[in-house]
Amino acid sequence: MAITVLVFFVLFSCSFVFAETEIRFVTWKSQFPKVWDEAIRAFEAEHPGLKIVREIGPHSSTEFHDLVTQKLKNRDPEMDVFFMDVIWPAEFAAAGWALPLDRFFPAGEREKFLSAPILADTYRGQIYGVPVFIDAGMLYYRKDLLARYGFSPPRTWPELVAQAKAVLAKAKDPQLTGFSGQFKQYEGLICNMMEYILSNGGSLWDDDGLRGALHRPEAIEAVQFVRDRIIGEISHRGVLAYQEPESLALFAQGRAVFHRNWPYAWEIANDPQRSRVVGKVGMAVLPAFPGGKSVSTLGGWQLGISRFSRKPDLAWKFVSFMTSPEMQKRIALYAGRAPARRALYRDPDVLKKRPEFESQFETFVHAVPRPRTPVYVPLSNVMQRFFSSAIALRDSNIESLARLASRDMDRVLDLLREGVRP
């Protein structure tokens, strides 16, 4: 009897110890799976006895948000570490879902990172995420085609349309289209539309008065431009269903003159296994409207720890490893991701592989964040619906749709006016 009890006790404690050594990481589907697999193997090799169990969710930020928040709403103790889009920390902090990381991630360490993602990770004075990489919208173009027809990269959106039309007319290639971007109804649509609206002097909402601003003339003009000139004249209507991977595939197949994407697209567009346009690609800042300033949306991803994790200290070991200078360098070199750590923009190996990071640093630093608020996601849903119906239907009444969208945004923003201020 005593022996049975002893065996049971030993087995029980073994399984307990074993369970303690698993860290569950919820991540998205990467376009560079090898880089992440290797990083995780390297962590496990350095930490014998710790095992990372990965759950791989959808690529889309919007769908991935649903997956992670579902687990958090259920207080699921199975998820220890998760990726957070740069727009989520305020929401996760206010809801009590993300663990404050101040005891692990002191101010002196935070200074080594770019300030925009650190600000995005901060809510009411506490820090909730560690930035892994940042994103900023960039213009990709077919260097060979622009040179052949005597163009330099466009400075304004109307110039981009004119160049695309001229190239299409001269190249006479039925497969070629003028532009590919992300116009499906999801978070990427906000990133794209924000670049048009802000580069026309408009805004999504005004921060001081907390009022929706989509019905103002600068915003309406920009949305109309996207519907009538970008989608109506130089893209095929398939872009209305595109997220990043599909829009990049079109460009990499040599079927678009211009393309809007994040910095990692460079790596894929120049990979002979995945691209037909290797060596023919140029990169520039996004155009603006005449009289406006070029605007890049700030994106990027952070690692957070669940408040419901039973092993926050072990989870931190993993977060700290994945955001270390060595890992960010690996992710920059092999996945083309723009590092969140400042020093890597002076690292000789990174600059050798991506010399343009040096000049793009300014664009990264000045990329414009989406508003930082715990009600970002409901606001984004209202905007996504508006943008999608405004650009998808040729005869949409943009003004009246915009007025309705601003009104719905005001209703959500009322929550903040009533005291849920960031």
Task: Point out which residues bind ligand GLC (CB under 6 A).
Answer: 61, 85-86, 135, 187-188, 191, 244, 262, 299-301
What's the closest the beta carbon of residue 59 comes to ligand GLC, in angstroms?
A: 8
What's the closest the beta carbon of residue 48 comes to ligand GLC, in angstroms?
A: 33
What's the closest the beta carbon of residue 370 comes to ligand GLC, in angstroms?
A: 8
**Residue 278 C-alpha from the chain's centroid:** 24
Q: For residues 61 and 177, which CB has a smaller minimum distance to ligand GLC in the complex?
A: 61
Q: For residues 190 and 344, which CB has a smaller minimum distance to ligand GLC in the complex?
A: 190
Residues 288 and 153 sit within 8 Å (Cβ to Cβ): no
Q: For residues 261 and 306, which CB has a smaller minimum distance to ligand GLC in the complex?
A: 261
In 31-150, beta strands by DSSP E: 51-57, 81-85, 122-123, 126-127, 130-136, 138-142
What's the closest the beta carbon of residue 62 comes to ligand GLC, in angstroms?
A: 8
Residue 43 to residue 59: CA distance in whole angstroms:
23
Pairing verdict, β 130-136 and 298-305: antiparallel
Residue 281 to residue 293: CA distance in whole angstroms:
24
Q: For residues 116 and 167, which CB has a smaller minimum distance to ligand GLC in the complex?
A: 116
Residue 114 to residue 112: CA distance in whole angstroms:
7
Q: For residues 68 and 164, which CB has a smaller minimum distance to ligand GLC in the complex?
A: 68
* End-to-end Cα spacing for the chain: 61
Q: Which residues lie closer than 8 Å to 219 by C-beta, 6 or more apart?
A: 197, 200, 202, 203, 204, 213, 402
Q: For residues 212 and 299, which CB has a smaller minimum distance to ligand GLC in the complex?
A: 299
What's the closest the beta carbon of residue 192 comes to ligand GLC, in angstroms?
A: 9
Q: For residues 62 and 309, which CB has a smaller minimum distance to ligand GLC in the complex?
A: 62
Neighbours of 360 (CB within 10 A): 21
**Alpha helix ranges (H) inside 290-375:** 312-322, 325-335, 348-353, 356-366
Residues 227 and 171 sit within 8 Å (Cβ to Cβ): no
User: Tokens representing 82?
Assistant: 């998760």
Q: For residues 86 and 333, which CB has a smaller minimum distance to ligand GLC in the complex?
A: 86
Closest chain position to ligand GLC (CB) = 299
**Entry field: residues in the chain:** 422
User: Tokens representing 399?
Assistant: 């003004």
Q: For residue 63, which phi and psi values (nearest 5 degrees)? A: -70, -35
**Alpha helix ranges (H) inside 121-156:** 143-148
CA angle 339, 47, 331 (to 5 degrees): 15
What's the closest the beta carbon of residue 301 comes to ligand GLC, in angstroms?
A: 6
Residue 62 to residue 380: CA distance in whole angstroms:
10
What's the closest the beta carbon of residue 135 comes to ligand GLC, in angstroms?
A: 4
What's the closest the beta carbon of residue 83 comes to ligand GLC, in angstroms?
A: 9
Residue 319 to residue 328: CA distance in whole angstroms:
12
What's the closest the beta carbon of residue 187 comes to ligand GLC, in angstroms?
A: 4
Q: For residues 66 and 414, which CB has a smaller minimum distance to ligand GLC in the complex?
A: 66
Q: Which residues lie closer than 8 Å to 153 by C-beta, 6 or more apart?
A: 139, 141, 146, 282, 284
Q: For residues 135 and 168, which CB has a smaller minimum distance to ligand GLC in the complex?
A: 135
What's the closest the beta carbon of residue 60 comes to ligand GLC, in angstroms?
A: 7
What's the closest the beta carbon of residue 195 comes to ligand GLC, in angstroms?
A: 12
**Residue 193 C-alpha from the chain's centroid:** 14
Q: For residues 85 and 218, which CB has a smaller minimum distance to ligand GLC in the complex?
A: 85
Residues 295 and 198 sit within 8 Å (Cβ to Cβ): yes
